[in-house]
Every structure is written in C-alpha cells, then in structure tokens.
Structure 1
Amino acid sequence: MREHGRIGPIEWAGATRSLPGEQACGDYVIALDVGGQAALFAGLDGLGHGEEAETAALCAVEVLKHARAEPLEAMIELCHRALMSTRGAAMTLARIDFESDMLSWIGVGNVTANLIAKAPSGVAIRSATPLASGIVGFRMPDTVVARNVAIRPGDLLVIASDGISEGHLDSVDFAASAVAISDQVLGKHAKDTDDASVLAARHRGASP
C-alpha cells in the first residue's frame, strides 16, 4: 500500500508491504492534519504479522484519528487502553508544529524515527527518537515522555518498522521526492521475514 500528500509545509509519503505470501498487514503508517497548525505522523507495528497484527494496528489508527489534537503522551496512553484486547503494537508518533518548526516525538517498541539532513558525506542523522521498551496494549514503561527537536526546511523525517533493515538511511536520495524515497527504502530494505513499512516526510519550507 502506498499513500502520499502534503500537510502544510510537509511533503510526505508512506509505503507498506505485508509478509510475502500473506494478505493482512500489521504495519501501518498514517499522516494526519492537526487543525491546520501541525501534522501528526505515526508508524504502527502490530505484534507479529497476519490478521491479529493488522487488527491491533487498525485499532491504534482509529484512536489516533480521534485523538490527534491530544498531547503525544496522552495518545500513547489512549492507544494502550484500546489495544488491551488485542495482541498489542509497537508505535512511534511524531508531530511537526508549523509555527515553531518544532518536531515532537515519542516511541514505544521498535519503530524507529530519524530526522536526517543532507551532508557532504551523504546523509547526516540530526536526531533520533528515544524508544522506550514495551508493547502498547500489553506492557507499558512507567513513564513515556515526548522529546522535542527543531526541524529545518530540507530536513527529512523517516519512520520505519523493524521489517526494514538497518542501514536504510545510508542511500537516501535527497534530490528525490518523498514518494520516491519511501518506495526506494521499502524496495531495497524490506525484510522477507516480516511486514514492513516506511514513512518519509520532508519539510519543504513555507506553505504554498
């Protein structure tokens, strides 16, 4: 599945793929407009793969759609409560505020998020969200606190599930669109042993 669009100054694209041979996919990426003032991005990975993993991820999607304006910590807690009847999920949330150019992010489990920039040597990782150990819906850490980092025009946010292999940032083509970047990462780095998902979101500067 592939989706793309633009929210304010952010151009984004997401790509997901189920475990080869299966139809259901427990990996999801979403992009939501938050009142025209911010964009919320999420990477969700239902535990395992198959229909039960998909059920967990879709449950989290619905919670986030309705709670998009809440603080990130509150969204994680709401997802935790809703997912208790499922097998649970790993998730990372990232919100970009357009006025302050501030990125806030939070993660539980193993969905990575990195803010990268073009560098003379290729790609420079400006920051990475700290990930708390646990499973949303099953076992949460005592405290999960969102972190903030400034985001600049040209910066690229990449969220990837553990179905994407390490080193997927090394060959990012900064001249490419978000669609091309997400397709490239999924095509080159998706593992054959799991569902896989990636979301790329680039700050394009002032909104049109």
Structure 2
Amino acid sequence: MAAIKFGVAQRPKHGQKIPGDAVFIHDAQAPDAPCRQVLVAVVDGLGSGETAAQVSSQAVDCIKDNLNAPLKMIIEQCHLALRGSRGAAMMVMRVDLAANQVSFVGVGNVGVRAHSVSGVHPVSKNGTLGYRLPKLKEFSYNYTPGDLFVLFSDGVSNHFSLDERDISPVDFRDNPQGLAEAIINRYGKDDDDITAAVVW
C-alpha cells in the first residue's frame, strides 16, 4: 500500500508576520507502528497574527497530549484547554490504516474537501473551542488508498472544488505540496490567515 503523503501551505493575513492558524500531523503509518494511523488537524485561532497563533499552539499541545484518544475527546480536551483564551476553530481527522477508515470531527469555520470513492462530506459544527462547544458529531467513512483530503481554514474561499473544472487532482499526482500551494494561491483571501493541509 502506498504511503500517505502530506502538503501544507500557509500565508498570514496581509500586514501580519505570522499566520494565526496551525497544522498538526501525526504520521504513524509504518507496519510496525503500535497504532497504524495518521492524525491531522487544522486549527484557526480567532483573529490573526501572533495572538491567534498562541491560541493555535495551545490547541496543538493539547492534541499531542491526547493523540490516541477518540476524536470527540480530543476536541473536548482542546475546548477545556482554551478556556479563557480568544478561542479557536478546529478540524481533526484520523485515518485508521488497520481498519481502512477515515473519521472527522470539526468545530467552527474550518472545512474539508475530499476526492474519494466513499463520498466524503464531513460538516464542522457551529461553535468556538474555549467558548461554546456544540454537540459533537463524528463522520466516518471507508478509506481507500489514494483518497485525497484537504483541510482548510476560513482564509480559503469555500468555493473551491477538487474536479477537472477547478483544481484537478490529476494535475498534482504525487505532489500534495504543489496542490496545497495552488489552493491558497488561487483561493486564499488577503484579509485573513490562510491554511490548506493536503492528505493524499
């Protein structure tokens, strides 16, 4: 089975030095790994710049502390960790290579696009980690090697799609980094931090 590859592209809001978004990738695909899984999260700290980045970094630290927990629990722990902060949105996904399953849980204005035989359409629930945690819903689908997923912050226009009329995966085969960069260059907004994480 071909290894999953990753691509991450980010750009700060115009006038800022760093983005307030963060990406976390835990890659344990090796056949001898205790738990063969890939976990990816995109965190969007509310606002932009350094203060938002600090919140996103807090969330990433919390994810690291809860790597093997169920996705809902990861979100719940991040919510508790971010209380008193400006808050954040987050989408987290896990590919379980032993079970051939991919799962998602999201809160706030973050999104997912997929190119998959399983018809993957997870929805992020309205809310803000650290302020208001909605009733969480986990979306799970069959995973097929070669499936493509893009997790993105709201700095990426919600109008992009992964088809031949827009950004075609065929043009970026074996180049997830190139795909991530194409997405933010074509669909990134100047008035927000921009992040796209490709899992392929």
Q: What SS does structure 1 have at the residue aligned with 2:41?
A: strand
Q: Is residue 17 of structure 2 the alignment partner of residue 23 of structure 1?
A: yes
Consecutive unaligned residues in structure 1, runs of 5 or more? 1-7, 118-123, 203-208
Provide the residue aligned with 1:160 in structure 2: 152
Map 1:9-158 → 2, pairs under 5 A: 9-34=3-28, 35-117=34-116, 126-141=119-134, 143-158=135-150
Counterpart residue identity of residue 133, structure 1: N
AA of the residue aligned to 1:188: R
Separation in 1 of the partners of 2:121 and 2:23?
18
Whole-angstrom CA distance in 2 between matches of 1:115 and 1:101: 16
Q: Post-superposition, which runs of at least 4 consecutive aligned residues in structure 1 deviate over 3 A? A: none
Pairs aligned (count): 188
Residue 195 of structure 1 and its aligned partner are, at CA, apart by 0.2
Task: Tell me how far apart the structure 1 counterparts of residues 193 and 86 of structure 2 sit (CA, whole Å).
Answer: 16
Superposed counterparts of 1:170-189, under 5 Å: 170-176=166-172, 177-189=175-187
2:119 alignment partner, SS class: strand
- Tell me the amino acid that sits aligned with residue 86 of structure 1: S
Distance 1:125 1:20, change over 3 A: farther
Q: Alpha carbon RMSD of aligned pairs, Å? A: 1.7
TM-score by length of 2: 0.88
Query: By percentage of residues, which structure has more strand?
Result: 1
Give TM-score scaled by structure 1 length.
0.85
What residue is the counterpart of 1:5 in the other structure?
none
- Supply the distance in 1 between the matched residues of 2:143 and 2:41 (Cα, whole angstroms): 17
Deviation string, structure 1 residues 24-81 (Cα, Å, up to 9, x no partner): 3211122113545100011110011122211110100111112111100110011001
Note closer, same or farther for the CA distance 1:17–1:200 as it changes in structure 2 (3 Å cut).
same
Equivalent residues of 2:118, 2:143 under 8 A apart: no
Contiguous gaps of at least 5 residues in structure 2: 29-33
